[in-house]
Chains A and B, each alone.
Chain A
């Protein structure tokens, strides 16, 4: 499932995003990094069609996203937000079941098939025992996993995760990354994640995209593109990259 971006543009009153040419490979994990306000989330939302974009700017598997019906588009790409506002206290299983919305017509109820898909998704993230718990009563780390489970239930080949590890403790952070890797490898999903942590980004991703002020300044294989000079120009500060036991550490 390939993603190709061509002249993608989106404008807020005080900020505009503009990405000219960018392609993402299937079954790979791409980390999108950059300073705050660089447009990472906006970009992700555009790719996920959560924000509207013009025709001809986004192609998934050769199909123009802007021309697809919501249902069809959702079966291809899924945007996973960072947090969920728990206004209504759904159970975890009901919450994950909502991921099946693209496969259920508005006036219908979920089928047995849908329920099974949701249960499988929950199982994949390791939270089967949590099925009857209310989403407001689980930890935020577990809630993140539930959000991912819902995205899995949607069975779209492309997952866009917005800062999935921010505010998580190291253990949960690692869990999420392992999950992401598992998804790319076992389920052949194309995954884009926005991250703040450069070290995590370079360690866990195949490709990286650097953004600054609404534009892409660099992209490529993580190992290749992760250079001190690039980091300095993107973040406007001196950084030192240290190699340690095969891992890259960033000193600021």
Chain B
């Protein structure tokens, strides 16, 4: 037992697990409005007892509680959700090239949101349609690929096909709908936290929490499920049932996250790799650390976006631009064997 290496890794792990909390506080102080840390502190206190701090402007409170707080929480939740989802599906599909949208969630959600905007108008939040069709897409994949215990390759291929199918359907909707009606879809397809409000969080946060909890408890099981189906079966695992469990949990959190913020690429793909590179492949560590790292990365990315300018660069673009070089560097480093 190389004790020194072990304790170093442990220290690093604890650092990454605590990092989101620290970033949470930092993120609350970043924004175009420009509130000093002192002002922020007073604002927090004024929430608790408004009477003692009458000079805190209403704008400060509105910004902190209604704009920054939900947004940072959403960043944490989505970052964790997509990363854990990606990690779990990579284990399930025994393929590190998999990402959390592999089962058709992204295109299903986009189609659902578009459909809702066109037929239900503004009366209905498009997020619901997005969520519903994200789940429908995964359901279609499971149905089409037959028994879930069949080769994981066919699940993958079916996922690709269903994704393409819903993309085509989306094009069809865009084709017939007035482009102005679909303007609202604009942000969403690029991936953006700008729409974050408490209304969105009330439903999506619990869903994400439930799914994350499931995957957290299943984390050791993921090791076993990452074995070939034959091996898993001989190890005594009801492969079919447990695969469905993992897929259900990942679908829940990915669909919930995607319905609110749109498509944010590369996070669920990169983060698990980073974690495995640093801490090994054991999912008992990969799952919680992916959640923490994903949350941190999202918060940092969003902080940069919000802090740099008054413009709203969609975060989905950002994660792709940042994710691709990281991926290439990782690819170079781990040429030999996939972690």
On whether A and B touch (CB less than 8 Å), the answer reads: yes
Chain A residues at the B interface, C-beta cutoff of 8 Å: 45, 48-50, 69-71, 73-75, 78-81, 84-91, 94, 97-99, 101-102, 104, 106-110, 131-132, 134, 136, 150, 154
Our pick among B94, B226, B236 for the contact of A73 (Cβ within 8 Å) is B236
Complex CA gap A107/B245 in Å reads 11
Verify A101–B236 contact, CB threshold 8 A. yes
- Interface pairs A-B: 9 shortest CB-CB: A74-B236, A102-B236, A79-B234, A107-B217, A88-B281, A101-B235, A70-B238, A136-B337, A101-B224
Give min CB distance, B236 to chain A, whole Å.
2
Q: Name the residue of chain B whose CB is nearest to the CB of A160.
A: B234
Q: Whole-angstrom distance between the alpha carbons of A131 and B6 in the complex?
A: 13
Q: Which residues of A contact B239 (CB under 8 A)?
A: 70
In the assembly, what is the distance between CA of A173 and CA of B86, in Å?
40
Determine whether the beta carbon of B220 is less than 8 Å from that of A108: yes
Q: How far is the CA of A132 from the CA of B6 in the complex (A)?
A: 10
Q: Would you give 28 A-B contacts (Cβ < 8 Å), ordered by A?
A: A50-B234, A69-B238, A70-B238, A73-B236, A74-B234, A81-B231, A84-B228, A86-B337, A88-B94, A88-B96, A88-B226, A88-B276, A88-B338, A88-B339, A89-B280, A89-B338, A94-B223, A98-B224, A101-B235, A107-B214, A108-B220, A109-B219, A109-B220, A110-B220, A131-B1, A132-B2, A136-B337, A154-B236
Tell me whether A70 and B236 are in contact in the complex, defined as CB-CB below 8 angstroms, given that A45-B230, A81-B231 are known contacts.
Answer: yes
- By beta carbon, the residue of chain A nearest B285 is A94
User: Within 8 Å CB of A109, what residues of B?
Assistant: 219-220, 284
Give the complex CA separation of A104 and B339 in angstroms: 25
Complex: A79 Cα to B237 Cα, angstroms: 13
In the assembled complex, the CB of A67 is this many whole angstroms from the nearest CB of chain B, namely: 14
| Contacting pair A87 B282 (CB below 8 A) | no
Question: In the assembled complex, how far is the CB of residue A153 from the closest CB belonging to chain B, in whole angstroms?
Answer: 10
Are B2 and A101 in contact (CB-based, < 8 A)?
Answer: no
User: Which residues of B have CB within 8 Å of A91?
Assistant: 280, 282
Q: How far is the CA of A136 from the CA of B280 in the complex (A)?
A: 12
Are the C-beta atoms of B234 and A90 separated by less than 8 Å? no
Verify B236–A75 contact, CB threshold 8 A: yes
Report A-chain residues with C-beta under 8 Å of the C-beta of B242: 106
B221 at the interface (CB under 8 A from A): yes
Q: When the two chains form the complex, which single residue of B237, B284, B338 contacts A87, counting CB atoms closer than 8 Å? A: B338
Which residues of B have CB within 8 Å of A131?
1
Contact residues of B between 168 and 208, Cβ < 8 Å to A: none
| B63-102, CB < 8 A from A | 91, 94-96
B89 to A: closest C-beta gap in Å: 13
Task: Say whether B233 faces chain A, with CB atoms less than 8 Å apart.
Answer: yes
Q: Which residue of B lies closest to A75 (CB)?
A: B236
- Which of B218, B236, B339 is most buried by chain A, counting CB atoms within 10 A of its CB? B236
Assess A88 versus B233: contact at CB under 8 Å? Given A106-B242, A107-B218.
no
Residues in B neighbouring A70, C-beta threshold 8 A:
233, 236-239
Residues of A contacting B136 in the complex (Cβ-Cβ under 8 angstroms): none
CB neighbours of A73 from chain B (8 A): 236
**Chain A min CB distance to B276 (Å):** 8
Provide the bound-state CA to CA distance between A108 and B175, in Å: 50
A88, B2: Cα distance in complex, Å = 21
In Å, the complex CA distance between A102 and B223 comes to: 13
Nearest-neighbor residue (CB-CB) of B286 within chain A? A88
Contacting residues, chain B, for A134 (C-beta < 8 A) = 280
Min C-beta distance of A122 to chain B, whole Å: 13
Q: Which residues of A contact B281 (CB under 8 A)?
A: 88-90, 94
